Structure 1
Amino acid sequence: MGVIDRAKAVSGFSETQEETRPYVCLACETTFEIQHHRCPVCGSFDVRCAKWVQD
């Protein structure tokens, strides 16, 4: 087990949609693989890291 694997195991990292699309627009709830400063779907500036947003 490498250092990265150990870090993932300790942090509880798992391959879910949250990791494959880690950013979400809070206005229209569209998810993205890359971080946008402005949502390309609705134009909102409220794009956040999905793991920081609680359902």
Structure 2
Amino acid sequence: MTEWGSHGTGFVQLDYLVGICPGKLGNVYIADTRNNRIQKLSDVKIENFYFR
């Protein structure tokens, strides 16, 4: 994976990125504050974890 999404509120889009953290198994976690979610990116899928 060489790039991630674009600006916005949709799936794989970021609105206000505040942190990036690499995981043990090659995953990347991105904190997206204005979209109220953490995005988990891997080479096989993208998952969203929402918070309020």
TM-score normalised by structure 2 residue count: 0.29
Of Structure 1 and Structure 2, which has the larger fraction of its residues in strand?
2
TM-score normalised by structure 1 residue count: 0.28
Of Structure 1 and Structure 2, which has the larger fraction of its residues in helix?
1
Higher relative contact order at CA 8 Å, sep ≥6: structure 1 or structure 2? 1
